[in-house]
Structure 1
């Protein structure tokens, strides 16, 4: 159950970031650390780039 909670918070973080919300505010809204949010966003961006290069 904890994994689902974290996944939903990360999805919310991605959505907020795509709408221009800064990482510190996303951290407050989701309860995740800024480091975790940045790491996840970085991974998502890398995967998106790889997907479009193929």
Structure 2
């Protein structure tokens, strides 16, 4: 289970990304590294695709 602070930052990163905010700005706003943001966004996209296939 992830820490609640990290979960909330990832949720904020997903929202910002959905609104078209660039990765460097998301990194500044959330305090997460660009690498962490990319990996979390990829995971979220994969989960969304897998749910649609079912």
Global fold match (TM > 0.5): yes
Matched residues, number: 53
In structure 2, the gaps of 5 or more residues are none
Query: What's the TM-score, normalizing by structure 1?
Result: 0.94
Residues 8-53 of structure 1: per-residue CA shift (max 9 Å, x gap): 0000000000000011100000000000000000000000000001
In structure 1, the gaps of 5 or more residues are none
Aligned counterpart, 2:11: 11
1:1-54 matches, within 5 Å, as: 3-54=3-54
2:32 alignment partner, SS class: coil
Query: What's the TM-score, normalizing by structure 2?
Result: 0.94
